């Protein structure tokens, strides 16, 4: 029997990087997984390559910035599975390391909508369901960029600081009702999140800051190393941990 035996988990941003490895780790631990992502073809690949032929993996295309799509996602998942136990708010996008004076409104809104508003709306949709079942476990994928000032641009940094606040507030306010809410703050992980960064647009100062910062990073992590941390928070091994932001950065922030 796996650590998540018969638990139903909803994972966003499931088709790539950390989300993908969380789905596969959860399947290995006998969960039923609802994998949501905006990228439909990547979801199909996720299903095709899933362990155990992906029999317990259900994929649903969903843009987490659209409330209607989130409502459809949650009602389809509950209709199919009867309930949801675990929410992993993983979908996220990176900015282009812009300092506040250089952030356009559209860039600010794009980052906030995916990294903060989407997770907030999904939590708001699922909390009544969790309260009804007297059980719920929320894991938000944050970043060490939400704990330190120089790991990303102003928009990404702000979104992850706020996500940590939302995590702590939710962890505390529902602690007596069977709901836990924690975050994981990864360091630098080998995924596709940086593919859209246009390094030619970085100022000379920012490029130097990035190079200096990266030199202090002991090593890059693999998505499956973060999936192990998410599993720990998702299962009862971590039953006493609530309202916590768990850093997994190979000591980068210990400097």
Ligand X SMILES: NC(=O)c1ccc[n+]([C@@H]2O[C@H](COP(=O)([O-])OP(=O)(O)OC[C@H]3O[C@@H](n4cnc5c(N)ncnc54)[C@H](O)[C@@H]3O)[C@@H](O)[C@H]2O)c1
Q: Which residues are catalytic?
A: 156
Residue 162 in the binding site for ligand X (CB under 6 A):
no
From start to end of the chain, where are the E strands? Answer: 8-12, 32-37, 57-61, 86-89, 136-141, 179-186, 245-248
127 is an interface residue for ligand X by CB under 6 A: no
Query: 84 Cβ partners below 8 Å, 6+ apart?
Result: 8, 9, 10, 34, 74, 77, 78, 126, 129, 130, 136
For ligand X, the closer CB: 176 or 195? 195
Q: Is the dihedral of CA 181, 143, 222, 42 positive or negative?
A: positive
The span of 31-39, 75-83, 120-128, 129-137 binding ligand X (CB under 6 A) equals 31-39
5/192 with CB nearer ligand X: 192
Nearer to ligand X, 90 or 170 (CB): 90
Q: Does 63 bind ligand X (CB under 6 A)?
A: yes
Cβ(19)–Cβ(13) under 8 Å? yes
- Nearer Cβ to ligand X, position 137 or 143? 143
- Site for ligand X, residues 187 to 206, rule: CB under 6 A: 188-189, 191-193
Number of residues assigned to the chain: 255
Which H helix or E strand runs over 24?
helix 17-28
Does 10 participate in binding ligand X (rule CB under 6 A)?
no
Question: Measured between alpha carbons, how far apart are the two ends of the chain, in Å?
Answer: 40
At closest approach, how far in Å is the CB of 254 from ligand X?
Answer: 16
**Is there binding between residue 60 and ligand X (CB under 6 A)?**
no
Applying CB under 6 A, the residues found at the interface with ligand X are 12-13, 15-19, 37-39, 42, 62-65, 90-93, 114, 141, 143, 186, 188-189, 191-193
């Amino acid at each position: 029997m796996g650590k998540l035996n018969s638990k139903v988990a909803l994972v966003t941003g499931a088709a790539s990087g950390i989300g993908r490895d969380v789905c596969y780790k959860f399947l290995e631990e006998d969960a039923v997984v609802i994998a949501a992502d905006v990228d439909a073809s990547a979801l199909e690949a996720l299903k095709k390559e899933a362990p155990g032929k992906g029999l317990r993996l259900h994929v649903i295309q969903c843009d987490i910035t659209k409330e209607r799509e989130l409502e459809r996602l949650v009602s389809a998942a509950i209709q199919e599975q009867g309930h949801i136990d675990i929410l992993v708010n993983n979908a996220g996008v990176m900015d282009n390391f812009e300092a506040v004076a250089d952030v356009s409104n559209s860039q600010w809104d794009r980052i906030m909508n995916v990294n903060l508003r989407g997770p907030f709306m999904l939590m708001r949709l699922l909390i009544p369901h969790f309260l009804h079942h007297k059980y719920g476990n929320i894991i938000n994928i944050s970043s060490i960029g939400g704990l330190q000032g120089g790991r990303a641009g102003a928009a990404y940094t702000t979104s992850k600081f706020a996500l940590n606040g939302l995590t702590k507030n939710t962890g505390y306010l529902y602690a007596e009702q069977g709901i836990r809410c924690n975050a994981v703050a990864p360091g630098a992980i080998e995924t596709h999140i940086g593919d859209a960064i246009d390094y030619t647009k970085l100022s000379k100062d920012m490029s130097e800051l990035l190079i200096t910062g990266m030199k202090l990073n002991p090593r890059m992590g693999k998505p499956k190393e973060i999936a192990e941390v998410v599993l720990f928070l998702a299962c009862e091994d971590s039953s006493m941990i609530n309202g916590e932001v768990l850093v997994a950065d190979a000591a980068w922030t210990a400097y």
